[in-house]
Amino acid sequence: MTYLMALDEGTTSCRTIIFDADCNIVSVAQHEFAQHFPHPGWVEHDAEEIWTTQRRTMTEALEQAGLAAGDIVSIGITNQRETVVLWDRRTGRPVYNAIVWQDRRTADLIGRFDTPAHRELVRSRTGLLLDPYFCASKIHWLLEEVDGLRADAEAGHIAFGTIDCWLLWNLTGGAVHCTDVSNACRTLLFDLHRGRWDEELLELFGIPAGMLPEVRPTSCDFGATDASLLGEPVHIGGMIGDQQSALFGQACVEPGMAKTTYGTGCFLLMNTGDVAITSEHNMLTTVAWQLDGQDPTYALEGSVFMGGASIQWLRDGLKLIHDAPAVNELAGSVPDSGGVVLVPAFAGLGAPYWDPFARGAILGLTRGSTDAHVARATLEGIACQVCDLLAAMEGDSGVPLTELRVDGGAAASDLLMQIQSDMLDRPVLRPQVLETTALGAAFMAGLAAGVYGSLSDISGHWHQEHRFEAGMAADERAARMARWSRAVTRARGWMQEDDDAAQ
């Protein structure tokens, strides 16, 4: 038998999943690690704890499966993106906690770089937005704030990496300082079109080039684990950011194919083939993956902050339900939302609006409105946000989507998926293996090791569990989307109006 090991390093936990070559899950080991919130808006992880937690899950997954290191053909890594680790090459020790993608400490700092010319530079080179979400301003902050760090960095002693790179460094016993292109392109320092670090951006953010890892394709030879780690060396053949990995794990390998992950937020990625499309609608342009010896495949990406988290709010905030799955029974007890619309702008609105001043709104309430209507409006609000993302992407790519593949915790809801299909007027396909993020990394590792020969091999391993067909009349759908748009308009700029009123 052939086995592949996927290291799935997320924002709250580390997991190791062992797959056989037919994509069956053989074992899973998972442990959470600590979240540190030293100040409001700051989010940190202890990078050493991430490494020791990940290492522990690797050993446990092998034990559970009754396998030895020699049974694993190749390892693939997938990871939370944009999180920054700086470490000292001489000791291998981090110089500070990892600054997590969610961290907003550099919101003011990024303002220093915010000119129309810089915005345009960032947009055209990186496909991203000038935002504290990405790595550049976090690295800049560390170089300014940590005593002596800039001098050490300029002397070549300091290494930067996203979590994939940090894990690889540790897996190889400090032998390899390398990242992959799907992670590099989330740093705000990488030229998406030329496929290399960008000197102008490095200079803009004051980051010494000597800190940066070598960039390799997503699926290639990344080296081997240090023999002492698992008893014998194991080949590492894949590294890929989590959302791109889910796109690959969903076998969206042809241009125009797309997936949405319904987790805490919702992430929609569309494969755009070998073209890096610059969005006219505030989507991000990103490298999806690059196979060894081939050109990169690009994607458009749009994310909304509140997906499944809106359902958690029904549970924890309104206490309408006792657990997330209970939303389905409550929302399913009414045929529609009775005209109620919920805009889940609890934390502002992400793509395509990017409105930090928007706030959540429930509109259309009447004396007849019930908890069931609000629950249903919540599911509709999640689905309508995804419709907005998809419309924006289709506008950018000019490619109409024929179907949407789905995964993530809230994709378990048949009702939400049916609503999604109705509102999109397109089939929604849920796969048998919902661990698409880990699977994408395993596929990358398997391609590098020759377990899979081609992308059609990958497609052949995707199996549908359920297909939701759209069944809503066109005029009804149009009326609902129009009502949704009106509600979004009312929710937008809410906090700004507060400020204006105070002045």
Query: Using CB under 6 A, which of the segments 23-31, 132-140, 306-314, 464-472 binds ligand ADP?
Result: 306-314
> Considering the complex, what minimum distance in angstroms separates the CB of residue 323 from ligand ADP?
8
Q: Which is nearer to ligand ADP, 188 or 306 (CB)?
A: 306
Q: Does 308 bind ligand ADP (CB under 6 A)?
A: yes
Query: Using CB under 6 A, which of the segments 23-31, 136-144, 324-332, 487-495 binds ligand ADP?
Result: 324-332
> Considering the complex, what minimum distance in angstroms separates the CB of residue 344 from ligand ADP?
11
Among 2, 312, 369, 370, binds ligand ADP (CB under 6 A): 312
Report DSSP state, residue 187.
S
Q: Which of 393, 385, 319 is nearest to 347 (CA)?
A: 385
> Considering the complex, what minimum distance in angstroms separates the CB of residue 325 from ligand ADP?
3
Q: Which is nearer to ligand ADP, 249 or 408 (CB)?
A: 408
- Burial of 313: CB neighbours in 10 Å, binned 0-12, 13-18, 19+: middle
Cα angle: 78, vertex 83, 85; to 5 degrees: 105
List CB contacts of 396: < 8 A, sequence separation 6 or more.
Answer: 277, 278, 279, 280, 281, 283, 300
User: By beta-carbon distance, which residue lies closest to ligand ADP?
Assistant: 409
> Considering the complex, what minimum distance in angstroms separates the CB of residue 225 from ligand ADP?
26
Query: Using CB under 6 A, which of the segments 24-32, 232-240, 303-311, 363-371 binds ligand ADP?
Result: 303-311
Query: Using CB under 6 A, which of the segments 53-61, 308-316, 349-357, 488-496 binds ligand ADP?
Result: 308-316
Cα–Cα distance measured from residue 298 to residue 289, given in angstroms and rounded to the nearest whole number: 7
Q: Does 317 bind ligand ADP (CB under 6 A)?
A: no
Query: Using CB under 6 A, which of the segments 80-88, 151-159, 322-330, 335-343 binds ligand ADP?
Result: 322-330
Q: How many C-beta atoms surround the C-beta of residue 123 within 10 A?
A: 16
Report how far apart, in Å, the C-alpha atoms of 272 and of each of 59, 157, 258 are: 38, 39, 9
Among 306, 327, 445, 458, binds ligand ADP (CB under 6 A): 327
> Considering the complex, what minimum distance in angstroms separates the CB of residue 327 from ligand ADP?
5
The CA radius of gyration of the chain, in Å to the nearest whole number, is 23
The helix, strand and coil proportions of the chain, stated in percent and rounded to the nearest 5, come to: 40, 25, 40
Q: Which is nearer to ligand ADP, 243 or 272 (CB)?
A: 243
Q: Please give the size of the binding site for ligand ADP, defined by CB under 6 A.
A: 15
> Considering the complex, what minimum distance in angstroms separates the CB of residue 494 from ligand ADP?
24
Write the binding mask 408 to 427 for ligand ADP: x where contact by CB under 6 A, - elsewhere.
xxx-xx--------------
Q: Which is nearer to ligand ADP, 100 or 188 (CB)?
A: 100
Q: Which is nearer to ligand ADP, 113 or 346 (CB)?
A: 346
Tokens, residue 141: 């902050």
Among 107, 204, 324, 391, binds ligand ADP (CB under 6 A): 324
Give the helix ranges, DSSP H, for 237-307.
242-249
Decide: 220 and 237 in contact? Cβ < 8 Å: yes
Decide: 445 and 76 in contact? Cβ < 8 Å: yes
Query: Using CB under 6 A, which of the segments 88-96, 142-150, 323-331, 337-345 binds ligand ADP?
Result: 323-331
Report DSSP state, residue 230.
H
Cα–Cα distance measured from residue 425 to residue 442, given in angstroms and rounded to the nearest whole number: 33
Which residues, listed in sequence order, are joined to residue 45 by a DSSP beta bridge?
Answer: 98
> Considering the complex, what minimum distance in angstroms separates the CB of residue 113 from ligand ADP?
30
Among 27, 54, 243, 328, binds ligand ADP (CB under 6 A): 328
Report how far apart, in Å, the C-alpha atoms of 462 and of each of 5, 318, 468 are: 18, 38, 17
Q: Residue with structure tokens 């100040």?
A: 39
Q: Which is nearer to ligand ADP, 132 or 307 (CB)?
A: 307
Q: Which of 332, 330, 335 is nearest to 319 (CA)?
A: 330
Query: Using CB under 6 A, which of the segments 55-63, 67-75, 360-368, 402-410 binds ligand ADP?
Result: 402-410
- Burial of 304: CB neighbours in 10 Å, binned 0-12, 13-18, 19+: buried
Q: Residues 362 to 391: which contact ligand ADP by CB under 6 A?
A: none
Tokens, residue 397: 């790519």
Q: Residues 249 to 278: which contact ligand ADP by CB under 6 A?
A: 263-264
- Burial of 381: CB neighbours in 10 Å, binned 0-12, 13-18, 19+: buried
Q: Residues 34 to 93: which contact ligand ADP by CB under 6 A?
A: none
Q: Does 311 bind ligand ADP (CB under 6 A)?
A: yes
Positions in the binding site for ligand ADP (CB under 6 A): 263-264, 308-309, 311-312, 324-325, 327-328, 408-410, 412-413
